Structure 1
Amino acid sequence: MNSMKSVINQSAWKDVFQGFEIVGVAVRDRDTLQTLARKAVTPDEGSHLLDGQIPTRIASIFLSDPEDDNVGYQELEGFAYPRMGVSRHPFERPGGLVTGMGKDGNTWPFGGGSGPMEMICPGDRPATQRLRCLFGFTYSVGLGRKIFRRNAVGHWTRIEGIPMSRDEDELQAAGFTDIDAFSETDMYAVGGHGDVWHFNGREWRQMGFPTNEQLATVTCAGDGNVYITSEGGTLWVGQQSTWRELEKGGSSVLWNDTRWFDGKLWLASDYQLRVWNGRELVVPEHDGKPILASGHMDAHDGLLVVADLWSVSTFDGQTWRKVVEPFKD
């Protein structure tokens, strides 16, 4: 990592991050990061709380601003199992978005002006697993193959043409956990047990996939391939209904995020950060030294960001930079 001091100074770290664990990160633009953090609670404390009662904080970090004014945050209440994303052009105010698992899919815009509260689908529990911004529009993908698109401020519409799963026994077998696209007429959504769907500009169709393993992420990469990860950290490559296994994973957890950046596929889980070098998954290196990072990840506008529970780092293709790190008293 770059030896420069972190972007967030000790005072800001104490105000915003001390006592909290980072559970989400997103790149709004090259100079602005969004983080989602939740209060660190002991197992005993957690046993007496509903998930929506755990204090949640969202922060905007301004990488080019002076040290004494480069982070702002808000407290959120009532967001169970929150997910964070971003909103960009064509919306006038780019910013962050946080949604929870409630029955209405309550979603809070922040960072480019805050609020008012939006509802993805009132009363129909969109069960968002991920928010992804593609070609300016933010998509919510959730259990039971539900996909919604934010077409205007406060206005989300369901993507039609995909049979929804309503049966409780089928919810785990049917996607979605991730979505990505080469274009608005070449999109992939994955999840459930080998549940892969493709949109060709006219209709969504279910694709064949070689396994019924649980699927975690999908990336439409700059090399023209589609990469999918499944349980155990296994990596697949292909398109439509033609897939092959690149590497059998030996992990006990799924990959949290996969992104194409700097001409390579990057993968992040709770325990590791890896890069596919064309032959195998390897630990990324910089100046001959391994980059030890893990957690959640995003990439946009020439910037990769990786965040574990307590720290945030960025990579611009040349330099690794520590943005947030714990300060010792």
Structure 2
Amino acid sequence: MKIFSKATFEANVKGYSIFDCAFNNADRFCFLLVEQKSSRDVYPRTRFLVLGLDGPTAPRIGYYDTGEMTFSSIARGFNPEEYVAVDSRSRVYSSDSKRRGEESAIESLISLSNEAGDTVVINRVARVSGKIYAIGSDRCLYRREGIEKWVDLHAEGRGAPMPADYTTSRTDWGRVLGFKDLSAFSETDFYAAGGAGDLWRFDGKTWQQCPLPTNAQLETVCCAGDGKVYVTDLHGNVWAGREESWTQVATSELSWGSQPVDAFWFKGRMLFGAQEGLYVINRNKQVVPLGDVEEGVPSSMVTGRIDISPDGNHLLTAGPHGACLYDGETWTRLFSAFDYR
């Protein structure tokens, strides 16, 4: 598959690293790119690259640049249909069939002040039951209902409970409390994770804290196709269970910076994605690179961040220098920077 010529690659991708990706379908996706800079005096630019491989004029390539966003993530929503990216300071980019560009920051539309008077930090966005959620510190979740329309679950009386002494002078709540990630079996069966072993289930009305047997810093959560919920910590250790029952199912010795930041169930197994490379649980119950247990896996330069197609049949993965599609049997390299040197 050839998406770019050398000229179009240099015009659209050269000088940037791929930081995240979002799936519409097997022919349409969006990549979040960050400018490669040697100087720290100026923020790197963020580029949102939209690719379409279908239609009479394929490939269709378009991008939007901004110098305002930092530490962003992106997801594809289907109710409404759009790509949405949010950065740690709640700045928003969105793209649908009619428009592409920045919106008002979430904090300019609704309050992001928590009960202690601090500003919530947005850790990522995720798609849950077709909706986009901005996932924030201090157990905060914000549901997107359309352009410049966000709903704070706490404001509508459906937010996760806070500790009784939350408004006291304790200074480490940011480390103790979630959230970092969100996943769901349905609209009435959510799991949110983050902080020091801070894992919660939401049944659509009430929240219940799950007795995860660790106080490690949690990074990802996935409601999987085998009926279990999988949770990873900062070093890639994995726990699995549901509601009141949890067991560690894999150990990991991944260094900080290599830990999973994405977790998805795909074709009957858990896959974990980092900024560089894919991981899986092996027979010895260890988290190892996917290439260690099967042949033909592309390098970590073009794999890592993960999103799954809505029908569950394709996996999109992106590393810092390229991207691939995977249908469970065949890997298709979409593009790689090394093809254009």
TM-score bracket, shorter-length normalisation: 0.7 to 0.9
2:299 to 281, 292, 300: 292
SS in 1 for 2:235: helix
Residue in 2 that maps onto 1:72: 62
1:108 to 79, 90, 93: 93
Residue in 1 that maps onto 2:326: 315
Contact 2:84 2:132 in 1 (8 A): no
2-structure distance, mates of 1:70, 1:277: 39
Contact 1:8 1:323 in 2 (8 A): no
User: Within 5 A, what are the aligned runs for 1:125-164?
Assistant: 125-160=119-154, 161-164=159-162
2-structure distance, mates of 1:9, 1:68: 13
Q: Aligned AA for 1:322?
A: R
User: Within 5 A, what are the aligned runs for 1:4-83?
Assistant: 5-42=1-38, 45-46=39-40, 48-49=41-42, 53-65=43-55, 69-83=59-73
Q: Which runs of 5+ in 2 are unaligned?
A: 113-118
Cα distance change, pair 271–153 in 1 and its aligned pair in 2 (3 A): closer
Contact 1:283 1:291 in 2 (8 A): no
2-structure distance, mates of 1:282, 1:289: 15
TM-score (norm 2): 0.85
Cα distance change, pair 65–205 in 1 and its aligned pair in 2 (3 A): same
CA apart distance, 1:243: 1.0
1:259 to 253, 259, 264: 264
1-structure distance, mates of 2:283, 2:140: 33
SS in 2 for 1:305: strand
Cα distance change, pair 23–157 in 1 and its aligned pair in 2 (3 A): same
Residue in 1 that maps onto 2:193: 190
CA apart distance, 1:288: 4.1
CA apart distance, 1:309: 0.8
1-structure distance, mates of 2:18, 2:101: 22
CA apart distance, 1:271: 3.9
Cα distance change, pair 65–15 in 1 and its aligned pair in 2 (3 A): farther
Residue in 2 that maps onto 1:224: 227
Cα distance change, pair 22–237 in 1 and its aligned pair in 2 (3 A): same
SS in 2 for 1:121: helix
1-structure distance, mates of 2:64, 2:102: 14
1:122-174 Cα shifts (integer Å, max 9, x gaps) = 35244211111112211111111110101233211111232356654211111
SS in 2 for 1:13: helix
1-structure distance, mates of 2:278, 2:318: 10
Cα distance change, pair 278–74 in 1 and its aligned pair in 2 (3 A): same
SS in 1 for 2:176: coil
SS in 1 for 2:225: coil
2-structure distance, mates of 1:86, 1:234: 28
Residue in 1 that maps onto 2:86: 99
SS in 2 for 1:176: coil
CA apart distance, 1:118: 3.7
1:176-215 Cα shifts (integer Å, max 9, x gaps) = 1100000111100000110001101220122211110010
Cα distance change, pair 193–108 in 1 and its aligned pair in 2 (3 A): same
Contact 1:6 1:325 in 2 (8 A): no
Q: Which runs of 5+ in 1 are unaligned?
A: none
The number of residues matched between the two structures is 314
Q: What value does the CA root-mean-square deviation take over the aligned residues?
A: 2.3
Contact 2:9 2:340 in 1 (8 A): no
1-structure distance, mates of 2:57, 2:9: 11
SS in 2 for 1:223: coil
Contact 1:8 1:67 in 2 (8 A): no
Cα distance change, pair 275–131 in 1 and its aligned pair in 2 (3 A): same
Contact 1:7 1:67 in 2 (8 A): no
Say which is worse superposed, 189-198 or 168-177, in terms of deviation: 168-177
Cα distance change, pair 64–275 in 1 and its aligned pair in 2 (3 A): farther
Cα distance change, pair 268–67 in 1 and its aligned pair in 2 (3 A): farther
User: Are 2:209 and 1:206 equivalent residues in the alignment?
Assistant: yes
CA apart distance, 1:232: 1.3
Cα distance change, pair 278–182 in 1 and its aligned pair in 2 (3 A): farther
Say which is worse superposed, 283-292 or 267-276, in terms of deviation: 283-292
Contact 2:52 2:58 in 1 (8 A): no
CA apart distance, 1:70: 2.5
1:173 to 167, 176, 183: 176
Say which is worse superposed, 285-294 or 222-231, in terms of deviation: 285-294
CA apart distance, 1:262: 1.3
CA apart distance, 1:319: 2.0
User: Are 2:335 and 1:324 equivalent residues in the alignment?
Assistant: yes
SS in 1 for 2:70: coil
